[in-house]
Structure 1
Amino acid sequence: MGDYFDFKLIFDYLPELLSRLHITLILLITATIIGMSLGAVIALLRLYKIPVLNQISVVFISFMRGTPILVQMFIVYYGLPRVLLLIGLDINRWDKFIFVILTYGFNMAAFVAEIIRGAIISVPIGQTEAAYSAGLTRLQAFRRIVAPQALLSALPSLSVNVVYLLQDTSIAFSLGIIDVMGQAKVIGARTYHTLESYTGAAVIFLVLCIILEKGCSKMEKKLTERMIGDGR
C-alpha cells in the first residue's frame, strides 16, 4: 500500500476498472438466467414431490445454501470435470469463466427454488379451486391465477438475491477471472495503492446495486398495478 491515501487516484483508476465491468455484468446476467431457470425447475420438483429427484433437490439445496460460495467454486472447478469424465465427457479444456458462471448459477438456483416454492404455497388454495370451478385447466389456473401472485410475492426476495449475487461476483478473481475486483487487485499490486483501487471498485459496485434495486422496485410496482388492473 502507498504511504498515504490519494483520493484523486480513485478517479484515475475508474476507467481501468470500468474496462472490466462487462465481465462482471456477463457473469451476473448469465448466472441469474441459469439460477432463475434451474431454481424454477427445482421448485416444481419439490412441490410435486417427484420421487428421487425431490430427494436430490433437497440435498442440492442444503449443500448450496449451507456452504461458502468460494468452496463451491473450487468444488465445481476441480470436481465437476472428474465426475463428468466418469461418463466420458471431458470438460477439462473449458474456460475458467464457465465454471465460475455455473457455480454462481447453481448457488442462486438453490435460493430461488425455495423462494418460488414458498411463494406458490402462499397463494390461497381457494383461488385455485375457484379457477377450476370456472372451467380453467390446471395449467391455465397456474398461469393466470397462481403464477402472477406468486411472482409478486417472490419478487422482493428474488431482487435481494440478484443484489447478493452481484456482491458475490467479487470473489470470482479467486480463479483468475479479471473482472472489476480482479482488476482492482491488479492495479493495487502494480501501484501499491491498494486501498484506492478497492475503493474505486466499491464505488462501482455501490452504483450497480442502487441501479438494480431501483429497477427491481419499478418492476414490482408495475406488476402490482397490473394485477390491480386485472382485478386479482
Structure 2
Amino acid sequence: MGRKFDIHYVIEFIPKLLSYLHITLFIVASSIVLGLIIGFLVALPRLYNVPFLKRCSQVYVSFFRGTPILIQLFLIYYGLPEILKLVQIDVSKADVLVFVIVAYSLHSGAFISEGIRAAVNAVDRGQVEAAYSIGMNGYQAFTRIVLPQALAISIPIFANLVIANLKDTSLAFSLGAMEMTGKSQTLGSATQHFIETYISLSLIYFVISTTLERIFLYVEHRLLRHDTPAVAHERRSRQRSAILRTIVPRFGKGG
C-alpha cells in the first residue's frame, strides 16, 4: 500500500516525468517512420496481387495485428539476438531501445500497411479508369488522382495509429527502457505515492494525445477544404469503412 494521497506530489512528479518525454517521443517517431517504410513495402504485394509475396504479407500482418504488443516486445528482445547468432551477428550488447523500436516498427508497419491498402482501395476505381481514358499513365493516375484522395482518407487512420503507438510505448518499461512509464515506476517505488505518479503520467499522455489529435484534425481539414458537402459526406463514409478495415483483424483474409 502507498502513502496517503497528496496532490502536491502530482505537481512535483510532472516535470520529473517530462524529463523523459524525449525518449517516449523518440520511440514513437522512430517506429512510425520505420513503420511507414515497412507498411508501404508490405502493402505493395497485396495492392498489385503478387502471389507469393502477397501471402507472406498476409501472414506478417495477421501475426502483428493478432498478437499483443507486449508479447511481440518479448519475442523481439529475446528472440532476435538468437536468430542473428545463426548468421554470426552479435547484438546482445545493443541498447534496449533498439529492440523496442524494432518491435514497435514491425507492429506499426502491419497496421500502416492495412491503412495504406484500405485508403487506396477506398478511392473510386472509376476515377482511375477516367484518368486512363484521357491519356494518363499509371504513375500519373496514381500521383494525381489516387494519392491525394488516399491521403485525405488515411489521415484519421494514421492519427489513430500514432496516438495508439504513443500509448503503447508505456509497455516499453517491461524491457527496462527508461521512458516516462519506467520513470513513473521508479518514482512510485521511491516515494510510495503511486496514485500521484500515475495521475501525473496520465495527464501528460492526455495532453500529448489531445494535441496530436488536434494537429491531425487541422491537417485533415486543410486537405478537405475544397470539398463540397456531398463529396465530404461520401469521403467520410469511405473513411469509416477504411478505418474499420484497419482496426479489425482479418485472420487468413486479404485482398
Structure 2: tracts of 5 or more residues without a match: 232-255
1:134 and 2:115 are equivalent in the alignment: no
Tell me, in whole angstroms, the C-alpha distance in 2 between the residues paired with 1:66 and 1:6. Answer: 41
Corresponding residue for residue 54 of structure 1: 54
Q: TM-score, normalised by structure 1?
A: 0.94
> Over aligned residues, Cα RMSD in angstroms?
1.7
Is residue 158 of structure 1 aligned with residue 158 of structure 2?
Answer: yes
> Cα distance, 1:26 vs. partner?
0.3
Work out the CA distance in 1 between the residues paired with 2:127 and 2:89. Answer: 47
State the shift of 1:226 in Å. Answer: 5.8
| 1:118 is the counterpart of 2:125 | no
Partner of 1:149: 149
How far does residue 227 in structure 1 lie from its aligned partner after superposition? Answer: 6.7
Instruction: Among all aligned residue pairs of Structure 1 and Structure 2, give the percentage whose two residues are the same amino acid.
Output: 41
For the residues of structure 2 that align with 1:56 and 1:80, how far apart are their CA atoms?
19
Deviations 1:47-80 (A, max 9, x none): 1122322111111111101111000001011111
**Distance in 2 between residues matched to 1:147 and 1:29, nearest whole Å:** 23
Note the C-alpha offset of 1:159.
Answer: 0.6
CA deviations on 1:120-169 (whole Å, 9 max, x unpaired) are: 11111111111112221111110110011111111111111111111101
Query: For 1:107 and 1:21, how far apart are their aligned partners in 2?
Result: 21
Q: Deviations over 1:72-106 (max 9, x none)?
A: 00101111122222233332222110110111111
Could you say which residue in structure 2 is the equivalent of 1:91? Answer: 91
2:43 maps to which residue? Answer: 43
Say which SS state the counterpart of residue 3 (structure 2) adopts. Answer: coil
* Whole-angstrom CA distance in 1 between matches of 2:193 and 2:177: 21
Residue in 1 aligned with 2:244? none
The 5 A counterparts of 1:67-82 are 67-82=67-82
Residue 216 of structure 1, CA deviation: 0.5
The Cα offsets for residues 192-232 of structure 1, whole Å up to 9 and x where unpaired, read as 1111111111110000000010000001111112677xx9x
Aligned to 1:184: 184
Deviating more after overlay: 4-13 vs 79-88: 79-88
Residue correspondences, number? 230
Give the Cα–Cα distance (whole angstroms) in 1 for the partners of residues 54 and 150 of structure 2: 21
The 3 A distance-change label for structure 1 pair 174 and 119 is: same
Q: Tell me: CA distance 1:84–1:3, structure 2 relative to 1, closer, same or farther (3 Å).
A: closer
The answer to which of 97-106 and 34-43 deviates more is: 34-43
Which residue is 1:168 aligned to? 168
TM-score calculated relative to the size of structure 2: 0.86
